[in-house]
């Protein structure tokens, strides 16, 4: 970790070509602006940079990466699939071919099977840094 110093005292963005997005300090609330916040050993730092050089940058500034998560950031999602599922459900309901409950139940199952939406407990969010 960079020994106690302001995050932007050493120009991280210019020197390492990464952006400091967030800093977590063992559950303490950070009241200072990001550029005035000091890094301490044990801090969790969220960086944004090119994947090809990020590992090297982490070693240069003395950081260890957390476990890799497949967040799918920057990936295009299939936008036509959920709309198609909904339109087909509505058409089947409008033409009285399928009862409303069955049509939307099947639409929900298809959305989960095609990973249009995930299955998680209500209110679940993994935003802890």
Instruction: Give the pLDDT score at 15.
Output: 78
The predicted-structure confidence for 8-56, as pLDDT tens digits, reads as follows: 445 677 778 888 887 887 777 777 777 777 777 778 888 888 888 888 8
C-alpha triplet 32, 34, 35: angle, nearest 5°:
100
The predicted-structure confidence for 73-102, as pLDDT tens digits, reads as follows: 555 666 788 899 999 999 999 999 999 999
DSSP assignment of 89-116 equals HHHHHHTTSS-HHHHHHHHHHHHHHTTS
Instruction: Pick 89 or 4 by higher pLDDT.
Output: 89
> Is residue 57 located within the same domain as residue 17?
yes
Instruction: Give the pLDDT score at 70.
Output: 62
- Rounded to two decimals, what is the model's pTM? 0.44
Q: Is residue 29 part of a domain?
A: yes
Q: Is residue 66 part of a domain?
A: no
What are the C-alpha distances in Å from 75 to residues 67, 70, 78, 79?
20, 11, 10, 12
Does pLDDT of 104 surpass 80? yes
Q: Is residue 39 part of a domain?
A: yes
Number of domains making up the chain: 2
Domain membership of residue 36 as a residue range: 12-61
* Other residues' Cβ atoms within 10 Å of the Cβ of residue 61: 17
């Amino acid at each position: 970790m960079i020994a106690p110093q302001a995050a932007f005292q050493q120009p991280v963005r210019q020197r390492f070509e990464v952006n400091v997005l967030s800093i977590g300090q063992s559950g303490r609330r950070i009241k200072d602006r990001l550029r005035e916040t000091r890094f301490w050993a044990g801090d969790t730092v969220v960086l944004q940079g090119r994947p090809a050089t990020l590992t090297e940058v982490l070693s240069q500034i003395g950081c260890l990466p957390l476990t890799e998560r497949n967040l799918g950031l920057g990936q295009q999602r299939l936008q036509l699939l959920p709309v198609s599922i909904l339109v087909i459900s509505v058409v089947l309901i409008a033409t009285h071919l399928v009862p409303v409950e069955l049509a939307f139940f099947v639409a929900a199952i298809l959305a989960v099977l095609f990973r249009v939406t995930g299955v998680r407990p209500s209110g679940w969010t993994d935003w802890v840094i």
